[in-house]
Structure 1
Amino acid sequence: MAEAPFRIGLLLFPNITQLDLTGPYEVFTKLPDAEVRLVWKTLDPVTAGGGMRLIPDTTFADCPQLDLICAPGGAGINPLLTDAETLDFLRAQARGARYITSVCTGALVLGAAGLLRGKRATTHWMSHDMLALFGATPTTGRAVIDGNVVTGGGVTAGIDFALAVAAEIAGVETAKAIQLGLEYDPHPPFAAGHPDHAEPALVARAIDTAAARQAERAALVRRAATALDLTP
């Protein structure tokens, strides 16, 4: 009898940062015997940040038990932080999943579902401190593994994260072969990819540009954490 596929589900939602999803998707589809699904409330096309249209292939209601659930990030996570249908789906899947994972600010959605309590976790640098409100220990890293919870840093870290997960699932040699096939050998042209290296003026401008979104996010994070009885 053929062995059951390793079922991976990537949460898809409006205003997602598509690279948070498509980077790991490219890695996960290279795993032996993997079945990768894009999961949302309906099968209607979803518009990502920047305008790319993506099509879910599985609804929450029809999704089988996944071996790995992944919550990507993006500006669109803000409404999900208090969206009962999405949070209930993540909790239900997490009960039977082998791996509970996220990329970028998708970690905050896991936190809002109560799935990061007592765990070390990472997310995009601009939202990193918010993890503590969900009972997590904010930890710097492109990929942070704590038991069966694996979180990836901001956007491009989704590829590093997925390769780390691939090594956990299928072994280091398989992960290395996937990396080689993708020619994932980054040499960015500028040392500006993290506030530890970027010019202070550039960091300040990025924070100022995102101020309204981050203020809304902080309020929603506190509301979600309060609902979990994690804040005073």
Structure 2
Amino acid sequence: MPETLSVAVCISDGVTLSDFVPPMEILAAINQADHPLFGAELRACMPEGEDVPVRISIDYVAPENKPVVAFQGLISPTINPTMTYAEAMEKGKQFDILWCPAGPLPDLVTGAHNFPEDELAFIKQQAPKARYLMSVCTGAHQLALAGVLSGKRATTNKKFFKVIGNFSPKDIEWVAHARWVVDGNVWTSSGVSAGQDMALAFVEHLTNAAVARVMRGVVEVHEATQQDDPFAAFHGLV
């Protein structure tokens, strides 16, 4: 029987929608293995007699049970959380995967972060037993502040690469030239669209290259490697 992996998308006001909406659609597409029409194509990617090994469930976790407003304000769509950080912690719910999109930037003078404290508390509580810890863009700052990236290699949006590095713990090896970085169970990607590349690589990690290739063909995302990063040079980092 396929195993269902639970995903917690860690959001709050100021989030970047594109850091998690397209990636979650990509991850959720694994569940199409159960679709009467599309499932056959995915199952054909597996060795004979084997099913696609995982399915995905997703929760959108936020400080309050009210619509989350993205960084561009109400000109953008809002996101309805499925639970709050307090509810998840009180229930002792453990997620398999934490997905951290960009949230509010730190104060550029003092370096003080602008994440809700219960968001960071939730990440700290979940991290020891989570199977995968993942971020897109400056979402890496959440992981850094929660202590998840200490002693790890990681990357982030190259526009804000120096800002995030300056205002994060100093025991992190920030990688300037990388579309995404994998260090153990920690996956971090560069800015925004890099999250889709990382999501497809993660699908391949969970299933196989053939399944990921089918999904890539549906969403029409060009294939990229971890080293396909023109933006490090664009922003003068290399």
TM-score range, shorter chain: 0.7 to 0.9
Comparing 80-89 and 18-27, the one that deviates more? 80-89
Residue from 170, 175, 194 that aligns with 2:231:
194
**Counterparts of 2:2 and 2:85, CA distance in 1:** 24
In the alignment, structure 1 residue 5 sits paired with structure 2 residue 4: yes
**DSSP-derived class of the 2:29 partner:** coil
Q: What percentage of residue pairs aligned between the two structures are identical?
A: 29
- Structure-1 residue corresponding to 2:140: 107
Structure 2: distance between partners of 1:152 and 1:159:
9
- Structure 1 residue 113: Cα displacement: 0.5
Greater share of helix residues, 1 or 2?
1
In structure 2, how many angstroms separate the alpha carbons of the residues matched to 1:56 and 1:113? 21
Q: Is the 8 A contact 1:80 1:86 kept in 2?
A: no
* Deviation larger for 126-135 or 139-148: 126-135
Residue type matched to 1:106 in 2?
G
Can you list the C-alpha shifts for 1:139-170, whole angstroms capped at 9, x where unaligned? 12111101000001001111011112212222
> Does the aligned pair in 1 maintain the 2:10–2:119 contact within 8 Å?
no
TM-score of the superposition, structure 1-length normalised? 0.75
Tell me the residue number matched to 1:30: 29
Structure 2: how far apart are the matches of 1:49 and 1:131?
Answer: 21
**TM-score (normalizing by structure 2):** 0.73
Query: What is the 5 A alignment of 1:59-70?
Result: 59-63=84-88, 64-70=93-99
Unaligned runs of 5+ in 1: 187-192, 201-232
Count of residue correspondences: 193
Which among 77, 89, 96 is matched to residue 52 of structure 1?
77
Indicate conservation of the 8 Å contact 1:143/1:164, yes or no. no
Structure of higher RCO (CA pairs closer than 8 Å, 6+ residues apart): 2
1-structure distance, mates of 2:21, 2:186 = 20
Distance 1:181 1:147, change over 3 A: same
Task: Note the 1:160-175 alignment, pairs <5 A.
Answer: 160-175=197-212
CA distance in structure 1 between the aligned counterparts of 2:77 and 2:135, rounded to whole angstroms: 21
User: In structure 1, the residue corresponding to 2:133 is in which secondary structure?
Assistant: strand
Q: Structure 2: state its 5+ residue gaps.
A: 32-54, 107-111, 224-229
